[in-house]
Structure 1
Amino acid sequence: MHIDLIEGRSPEQLKGMVKDVTEAIVKNTGAPAEHVHVVLNEMAKEHYAVGGILKSDEN
C-alpha cells in the first residue's frame, strides 16, 4: 500500500498510522501482517496542489 501525504508529521504519528493501517488490512482481508507493505511518500507543500493552488500558498 502506498500512502501519499504532506510532510510534517512526527515519527510517532507515522509509526501509529502504519500500525493502524496494517491492522485494518489484516482485519479486513485476513492477510498476515508480515505480508502487508506500507510505503509512505511525504511531499513538501511546495510539491502538492489541489485545484491549481499549492498547499504552501494556502493560509
Structure 2
Amino acid sequence: MPIIEVNLLEGRTSDDKERLIQALTAAAIEAIGAPRESVRIILREMPPGHFAVGGETFAAKAAAKAARQG
C-alpha cells in the first residue's frame, strides 16, 4: 500500500488538489503497479509563514514583493 505525502503552501483550489491527487494516484499505479484502492494520498497544507528558504519565510517574501510593486 503506497502512501504518498505532499506538503503544500496554502492557497490552491479544491480542484487543483483533486487533480494532484488523481495524478499522483495514476503515477503510483503506473510506476509500481499498485492497485488503485491501495493508493493513499496525504496533502498537508501550511501557511506561508511556516515555510522558509534561505532564512526567509514565503510570507515575508510575498510582503516584500507587494511593497516593491505598490
Where 2:29 maps in the other structure, the secondary structure is helix
- Distance in 2 between residues matched to 1:32 and 1:52, nearest whole Å: 41
Unaligned 5+ residue runs, structure 2?
Answer: 66-70
Equivalent residue number for residue 57 of structure 2:
54
Unaligned 5+ residue runs, structure 1?
Answer: none
Matched length:
59
Equivalent residue number for residue 18 of structure 1:
21
Q: Which has the higher helix share?
A: 2
Report the TM-score, using the length of structure 2 for normalisation: 0.81
CA deviation after TM superposition for structure 1 residue 33, in Å = 1.0
- Distance in 2 between residues matched to 1:18 and 1:50, nearest whole Å: 26
**Alpha-carbon deviations, 1:1-42, whole Å to 9, x = none?**
110010100000000000001001100100101111000000
Q: CA RMSD in A?
A: 0.6
Equivalent residue number for residue 35 of structure 2:
32
**Which structure has the higher relative contact order (CA within 8 Å, separation 6+)?**
1
- Distance in 2 between residues matched to 1:23 and 1:43, nearest whole Å: 25
